Amino acid sequence: MALLDVKDLVVHYGKINALKGVSLRLEQGDFVALIGANGAGKTTLLCAISGVVHATSGTVSFRGKSIFNHASEAIVRSGISHVPEGRKIFSELSVEENLYAGAYIISDKARVKDLLERSYQLFPRLAERRKKEGGTLSGGEQQMLAIARGLMSDPDILFLDEPSLGIAPILVDKIFEFIVQINAMGKTILMIEQNANLALQVARYGYVMETGKITHEAACAELREDDAIRRAYLGVTGATT
């Protein structure tokens, strides 16, 4: 049984058909990348699974139980944490308060403290800035905070939507190292990434989306060798590199 099993998911925004029957599976410990052009429906897919967007039809099951169209506050309780596109830091809460907000579903105070310690170990930069307002951090720091906040609910699955978006190039590698490390901690990751090159290097399995549909899926190593994908997403025009 897959950890997360999505079948034939359809989403409409009014008349716009943003997802036209998308299926996807995540196994325990997976690191899966979702790539595709702007507007392909990647964010919509994550939002429909995490309850931010209402789906028209399809099925979503997590550990064999349906979570289809459950409220987002319920889905995070079942163990899926969604780090949204654009980071969405609570700008006027301190770094530490943002982290506490991430642990909202956990009532055991000692456990929250442990998770907080873990965040600071993983991201020492955040420990230095714990009292600063979220809005005053740099883009890269905000992304670290968004990821750390997403981990504070101690989820089984972490959704990451464009973690490299709007971040200084030197920090992008750093962020991806963190993500690999988080996957090594045992968290299952489903990551959207516009930087397909990078995404297909760090993840193990990949899905490619085009206008509301999955067009390819395969191990990342395989996708990297696929000519159509190389031309469309990896910016390769001629011979192999």
Partner 1 sequence: MFLQQLINGIAQGSLFALIAISFSLVWGLLRMVNFAMGELYMLGAYAGWLVVMHVTPNLGVALFAGFMVGWIVGWLIEKVAFKAMRGVPHIASLVCTIGFSFFLKETASTLFGAETKSMPSYYSQTAFTIAEANISWLQVLMVAVAIIMMVLLQLLFYRTKVGLAVRAVALDYRTASLMGMKVDRVTSLAFSLSGALVGFVGVLAAIYYNAVNAGMGFVPAIKGFTAAVFGGITSIPGAILGGYLLGAIENLSVKFMSSGYRDFVSFLILIIFLLFRPNGILGKKTKL
Q: Which residues contact 5 (CB under 8 A, 6 or more apart)?
A: 25, 26, 59, 60, 61, 62
What's the CA gap between 236 and 232, in Å, rounded? Answer: 8
User: Is residue 130 near partner 1 by the rule CB under 8 A?
Assistant: no
Tokens for 220?
């990342």
Q: Parallel, antiparallel, or unpaired for β 157-161 and 80-83?
A: parallel
User: Is residue 36 near ligand ADP by the rule CB under 6 A?
Assistant: yes
Kindly indicate which of the ranges 46-54, 186-194, 204-212, 216-224 contains the residues binding partner 1, using the contact rule CB under 8 A. 46-54
**CB-count exposure of residue 240 (10 Å: 0-12, 13-18, 19+):** exposed
Q: Which is nearer to Mg ion, 43 or 119 (CB)?
A: 43
Residue pair 95/131 in contact by the 8 Å Cβ criterion: yes
Q: Which is nearer to ligand ADP, 44 or 119 (CB)?
A: 44
- Per CB under 5 A, the list member of 3, 43, 116, 140 interacting with Mg ion is 43
User: Is residue 100 near partner 1 by the rule CB under 8 A?
Assistant: yes
Residue at 101: amino acid letter: A
Tokens for 48?
């429909």
What's the CA gap between 179 and 174, in Å, rounded? Answer: 9
- Per-residue string for binding with partner 1, 141-170, x by CB under 8 A? --------x---x-----------------
User: Is residue 164 near ligand ADP by the rule CB under 6 A?
Assistant: no
Q: Which is nearer to ligand ADP, 16 or 221 (CB)?
A: 16
Q: Within positions 184 to 213, which residues make up the interface with partner 1, using CB under 8 A?
A: none
Residues forming the site for Mg ion (CB under 5 A): 43, 85
Residues forming the site for partner 1 (CB under 8 A): 50-52, 71-73, 76-77, 81-82, 84, 88, 90-93, 97, 100-102, 104-105, 149, 153
